[in-house]
Amino acid sequence: MALSVPKIAPFSPIYRLKTLIVSIIIFTTFIFVSCAERGSGGDELYREILRDETVARIKELGKISDAEGYLERTFLSPASMRAAELIQSWMQDAGLKTWVDQMGNVHGRFEAANSTAEALLIGSHLDTVIDAGMYDGSMGVVCAISALKVFKLNGMQGKLQRPVEVIAFSDEEGVRFQTTFLGSSAVAGILSGSALQISDKSGITLQEVLRENSLEATEESLVDAKYEPESIWGYIEVHIEQGPVLESVGYPLGIVKGIAGQTRLKVTVKGSQGHAGTVPMFMRQDPMVASAELIVLLESLCKHPESFLAYDDQCGGFTRESLAGLVCTVGEISCWPSASNLFLLLY
């Protein structure tokens, strides 16, 4: 059945609040599924903690920024460290045992009757993009903490079948070091030791940034941040929708079927410098023009991948189905030496 997508309405705060509350309730129900009953006073706790306190905390985190007037909290920045400290205190308030790993991820563990059972991980990221929305990342962390806090206050912790751990990942966005998922890669044990030597725009390396914040990470010690797969039961995350689709069709909540994977490419287009007045058009090799053509072609490929399929219905090993939903975009372009040198010759 075709899904008709109406015109996108402006994102209203009330809609977002409703979405948030529904998300929290669904999320809480989900992790409480092993419980047969709720403790007394549940309704007030739901209101006070899952709604009021949760929303207040998300707003509080939304104000912790390195920039004036908008939200910016990149990996291990001063604001990021303040946010991590606050999150850790909320975890402790909810009864979680906390620690910070070698990559600056904040962890909180909520023990169960069977402490050796595989743990359920719940998490999201505490860093942001530049000029971020306050729900991005924060919502997943705060919702998880709130849900466990209710569990503790209801006296239901002992009924948990397995430990639950909340992780606030230090880096997901990759803004500072232009490499995404530093935090979760360390937890997954797939962060290469060589990553410690990458530098941010100021020239400081990842290892130096960690050290400045009292986090000693070496190639050898990175393995300490890794979770063994057999110790994990599963991972769930509550996240604000990062696109307009759910809101445009009027759905307050969705369950993801997968997650976007991304490849970032840096492409160099080489041309040759030519005086704007004396190199005729048929001899020009302008890289800006070639770049523009490439960008248009890329757009066309992603909008109509079927047009690029070969006789066997494939395109570079990808099938028609796997190309559905493909997104490509060019976000940055720079020209060197960037001289205009442009004038008209008049005869």
What's the closest the beta carbon of residue 233 comes to Zn ion, in angstroms?
Answer: 23
What's the closest the beta carbon of residue 137 comes to Zn ion, in angstroms?
Answer: 4
The DSSP element (H or E) to which 187 belongs, if any, is helix 182-188
Write out the binding residues for Zn ion, residues 320-339 only, by CB under 5 A: none
> Between residues 121 and 156, which has the closer beta carbon with respect to Zn ion?
121
Write out the binding residues for Zn ion, residues 130-169 only, by CB under 5 A: 136-137
> Between residues 87 and 196, which has the closer beta carbon with respect to Zn ion?
87
What's the closest the beta carbon of residue 242 comes to Zn ion, in angstroms?
Answer: 7
Q: What is the longest distance spanned by two Cα atoms in the chain?
A: 91
What's the closest the beta carbon of residue 172 comes to Zn ion, in angstroms?
Answer: 6
> Between residues 141 and 153, which has the closer beta carbon with respect to Zn ion?
141
What's the closest the beta carbon of residue 237 comes to Zn ion, in angstroms?
Answer: 9
> Between residues 132 and 160, which has the closer beta carbon with respect to Zn ion?
132
Cα–Cα distances (Å) from 68 to 47, 64, 75, in that order, read 32, 10, 18
Cα–Cα distances (Å) from 231 to 104, 121, 190, 302, in that order, read 21, 10, 16, 40
Q: What are phi and psi of 142, to 5 degrees?
A: -70, -40
Give yes or no for residue 183 binding Zn ion (CB under 5 A): no
Q: 3-class DSSP state for residue 278?
A: coil
> Between residues 181 and 308, which has the closer beta carbon with respect to Zn ion?
181
Q: Which of these, 193, 192, 189, lies nearest to 225 by C-alpha position?
A: 189
CA-CA-CA-CA torsion for 116, 121, 127, 132, nearest 10 degrees? -160
What's the closest the beta carbon of residue 159 comes to Zn ion, in angstroms?
Answer: 31
Contact criterion met (CB below 8 Å) for 262 and 178:
no
> Between residues 129 and 301, which has the closer beta carbon with respect to Zn ion?
129
Cα–Cα distances (Å) from 286 to 272, 273, 296, 335, 340, in that order, read 6, 7, 16, 10, 12
> Between residues 39 and 133, which has the closer beta carbon with respect to Zn ion?
133
Q: Compute the distance between CA of residue 256 and CA of residue 149 in angstroms, rounded to an integer.
A: 26
Q: Compute the distance between CA of residue 177 and CA of residue 201 in angstroms, rounded to an integer.
A: 8
What's the closest the beta carbon of residue 102 comes to Zn ion, in angstroms?
Answer: 22
How far does Cα 333 stand from its chain's mean position? 24
What's the closest the beta carbon of residue 124 comes to Zn ion, in angstroms?
Answer: 6
What's the closest the beta carbon of residue 219 comes to Zn ion, in angstroms?
Answer: 28
Count of beta carbons in the 10 Å neighbourhood of residue 283: 9
Q: Compute the distance between CA of residue 42 and CA of residue 32 in angstroms, rounded to an integer.
A: 13
> Between residues 53 and 136, which has the closer beta carbon with respect to Zn ion?
136
From the list 57-65, 128-136, 252-260, 331-339, the region that binds Zn ion by CB under 5 A is: 128-136
From the list 129-137, 227-235, 280-288, 306-314, the region that binds Zn ion by CB under 5 A is: 129-137
Which amino acid is present at 330? V
Q: What are phi and psi of 159, to 5 degrees?
A: -90, -5
> Between residues 62 and 163, which has the closer beta carbon with respect to Zn ion?
62
Residues contributing to the site for Zn ion (CB under 5 A): 136-137
